[in-house]
Amino acid sequence: MRDAILFLFFCLPAYPLAAQVDTLKTFEPTTPYQLADTSRQTVFKSSVDPSWPLWEQRSYGYGLKADKTKIPLVIDAPLQVNSFLQLRTNSRMQRRWGYHFLEAYSVFDNISRFTMLMDKHIELGRPVAELYYFGNRYNTSEAGYNWVRIGSDVRGHSFLFSRDQAVFYGAVKLDNMLTLGNIGSSDLRSDKPSGGNGEHNTEEEVKFVRHKALESAGDGTIFYDKDRHLVVIKVDGVWMRLKVKKLPKGGSLSVIEP
């Protein structure tokens, strides 16, 4: 399992994350949400109540402003619709931290939550929609996130994702290229950066995560060493270089040769 995690990690190029961060002001809404037409639509309303007792519980009040957020409506039954659900609003005050649009809480502690959100970050020049399973630690450290399984609900199968790891139990077939992590000494740091929770000083945090992965790398881990221009793989506990040579003229990549 560890080898699968590290292989996937080292297939990620060492992008300069700091250069990717942009401001959401670039993506200001051009079509504001139109409030419900009460003459044509049925509207269920709640109200703001800072004295609501459940605001004191972190799983309710964390990331919300009690003096501006309406208390939840409760439907004590399964909800079935014959169309689809939409979330539209002009106000971030009705979303946790201004971004969440779906939360589901663990039956075991009523604190751990599966979360879906959008527009919190811009990466690679575009807004991001995100999903994760937040543990009951309520912090953004690696240990603060549980696994999300995609593909089934069968133990030891399908594909698991967490903050800094992914485990693929199933076979993976690519219909395009695979790019190895392009990593050099400037992309690593051995000490955890100060003043960060994963969201601050992002580029240095990522360097630390890479260094940890290198330290715990198992056999089969592979990446491209950009300092030495080598493809490196770990075999029987030892880092080794892969022997490569140029393709002959007219070889399998002739379609991209001049």
Q: The dihedral of CA 109, 114, 117, 123: what is its sign?
A: positive
Averaged confidence pLDDT in the chain: 85
With cut-offs at 50, 70 and 90, classify the pLDDT of residue 34: low
What is the SS3 assignment for 204? Answer: helix
**Contacting residues for 17 by C-beta, under 8 A, at least 6 apart:** 123, 202, 203, 206
pLDDT tens-place string over residues 210-224: 999 999 999 999 999
pLDDT tens-place string over residues 165-211: 999 999 999 999 999 999 999 999 999 888 656 677 888 889 999 99
The CA distance from 12 to 1, in Å, is: 18
Residue type, 181: G
Beta pairing class for 182-183 and 222-225 = parallel
Is the pLDDT reported for residue 241 higher than 80?
yes
The CA distance from 171 to 151, in Å, is: 12
Q: The dihedral of CA 203, 228, 214, 9: what is its sign?
A: positive
Average pLDDT on 236-248 reads: 90
